[in-house]
Amino acid sequence: MNVLDINNVTKRFGNLVAVRDVSLSVAKGELCAIIGPNGAGKTTFFNLISGFFPPTSGSITFDGRDITRLSTHERVTQGMARTFQITEIFPELTVFENVRIAAEVAGGFRLRPWINRNEAAQVHARVEETLKLVSLETKTDRLVGELAHGDQRAAEIAMALALKPHLLLLDEPTAGMGDQETYQITQLIRRLHRDSNYTIVLIEHDMRVVFHLADRICVLDQGRMLAQGTPQEIAANETVQAAYLGNAA
């Protein structure tokens, strides 16, 4: 079954059509990369999926339920988690506290004025497990705002993972990173995909990363879906080459 089905969504801002009649299906366990030149509508498309704003037309189905009109936090509750191009974290809290908030919300404790020992232990275990997954287990007591950029990214991914999502949306996970950090975050995403079997949709500019990770690549151009297919198909696609890839691939 597909985790995500996007059917003919269009988003207009006044006269500008940022996303035009785009459809996309993501199967369980798949890693789908969205590429395209600047201004192609990638981030708008992501914002439509995660519920930043509703589409002008079209529908979005997640885990078999129509979520087109659901708000952001309702989509998160249904199992959708995302990270941002510019890292969104709680800078003045520690790594542990950042991820604990996510784990408590995921555990259904967000409205609780108390938490008992058992529940706290569960949350604690969840946080440590998640931090281990992203290799931050030695930095749990550091303030997130003081970490290196790559570690901040990892912390943001850890917060998303602590929500136990069925779908992970990563907006340019390697943005602003050096080669070493890019390599590490790519390995992390690869582990999440291959070993932990997460379903992932990501936007990425770095073609090495995209071709290394993706099961399927979707090319957006001027708000339209130009092509989608396996990395081999996309690399061989002449329209895509002309519009975007040039000689890079």
Partner 1 sequence: MSAEQTRKLIALAAIWAALLLAPYWMVPLGGYTALATRVLVLGLAAMSLNFLLGFTGVLSFGHAAYFGLGAYGAGLALKFVALSTPLALVAGMLLGGLCGAVLGTLIVRRRGVYFAMVTIAFGQVFYYIAFQWSSLTGGDDGLRGFSRQPLDFGAFKIDILSSANNFYYFVLFCFALAVGAMAFILRSPFGRTMIAIRENERRARFLGIPVERHIWIAFTLSCFFMAFAGALYALVNNFADPRGLHYSQSGDFVMMAVMGGMRSFWGPLLGAAVFVVLQDYLSSITVNWMSFVGLLFVLVVLFFPRGLLGFLQRSKA
Applying CB under 8 A, the residues found at the interface with partner 1 are 50, 71-73, 76-77, 81-82, 84, 88-93, 97, 100-102, 104-106, 109-115, 159, 163
For partner 1, the closer CB: 92 or 233: 92
For partner 1, the closer CB: 46 or 244: 46
For partner 1, the closer CB: 151 or 221: 151
For partner 1, the closer CB: 159 or 200: 159
CB of 150 to partner 1, least distance (A): 18
For partner 1, the closer CB: 160 or 220: 160
CB of 157 to partner 1, least distance (A): 13
For partner 1, the closer CB: 154 or 163: 163
Inter-residue contact 51 to 71 (CB < 8 Å): yes
Number of Cβ within a 10 Å radius of residue 16: 10
| DSSP per-residue letters across the chain | -EEEEEEEEEEEETTEEEEEEEEEEEETT-EEEEE--TTSSHHHHHHHHHTSS--SEEEEEETTEE-TT--HHHHHHHTEEEE-SS----TTSBHHHHHHHHHHHHTT-TT-S---HHHHHHHHHHHHHHHHHTT-GGGTTSBGGGS-HHHHHHHHHHHHHHT--SEEEEESTTTT--HHHHHHHHHHHHHHHHTS---EEEE---HHHHHHH-SEEEEEETTEEEEEE-HHHHHH-HHHIIIIITT--
**200 φ/ψ angles, rounded to the nearest 5 degrees:** -130, 135
CB of 103 to partner 1, least distance (A): 10
CB of 187 to partner 1, least distance (A): 24
Inter-residue contact 17 to 11 (CB < 8 Å): yes
CB of 205 to partner 1, least distance (A): 22
CB of 15 to partner 1, least distance (A): 27
For partner 1, the closer CB: 100 or 216: 100
CB of 94 to partner 1, least distance (A): 12
